[in-house]
Structure 1
Amino acid sequence: MRHITLTIAGLFLSIVPAFADQVLATSKNCMACHATERKLVGPAFKDVAAKYASDKTAVDKLAIKIQKGGAGVWGPVPMPANTQVSDADAKKLAAWVLTIQ
């Protein structure tokens, strides 16, 4: 029984950070244009993660795009700047997006 309890606790602890970062993404309005699994206005986060999977500088690149916006990488609709997102939150969001499969 103790093994099952520890396994469930470990599973819960591994899910909580992912959920917390989705909460952050929602609070910063990322989810208004993005979804984890499908394209909305912007690309699906899983597609962003796949595109940048081998880029070791992806967290920094994406954090800058989160804050300053961007255009042309995913089509004609530009991503607006999100100046309300701090440097730390932008990096946390970028790191989270890169974990989505």
Structure 2
Amino acid sequence: MKLISALIVASAAFAAPAFANLDLAKKNACMACHGVDKKVVGPAYQDVAKKYAGQKDAAAALAKSIKAGGSGKWGPIPMPAQAALSDADANTLAAWILAGAK
């Protein structure tokens, strides 16, 4: 049953319109530091997608990075942890970013 629920959530994330995921990024203040195609404080989402391209479990790794934050991957400015973000929203954002944030 858990597998079916996970598949439904994953399908919904990929089926959601792109603007909904941009709205999710805006709602959670992600766009204060990231742009879709331009570096702001943090890297552009399209650059993140390129960095993770072809990596096994990229979506899970990116969702984990979004929630946990970190430093050193993109320069000296750390990404703050987004611990209050739900796992579902982190997975949705990760899928959107990896799809090129279009």
Mark yes or no: TM-score above 0.5. yes
Counterpart of 1:67, as a letter, is: K
Q: Which runs of 5+ in 1 are unaligned?
A: 1-15
Distance in structure 2 (CA, Å) of the matches to 1:63 and 1:56: 13
Amino acid at match of 1:76: P
- How many Å apart are 1:55 and its aligned residue? 1.0
1:97 is aligned with what amino acid? I
Q: Which residue of 1 aligns with 2:42?
A: 42
Number of corresponding residues: 86
Q: What is the root-mean-square deviation in Å for CA atoms of aligned residues?
A: 1.2
1:54 corresponds to: 54
Question: Normalising by the residue count of structure 2, what TM-score does the alignment of the two structures yield?
Answer: 0.81
The corresponding residue for 2:82 is 82
TM-score, normalization by structure 1: 0.81
Moved >4 Å (runs of 4+):
none
Return the index of the structure with the highest Cα Rg.
1
1:56 CA drift (Å): 2.7
Give the CA deviation at 1:84.
1.6
- Structure with more relative contact order (C-alpha pairs < 8 Å, separation 6 or more): 2
Q: Percent identity?
A: 55
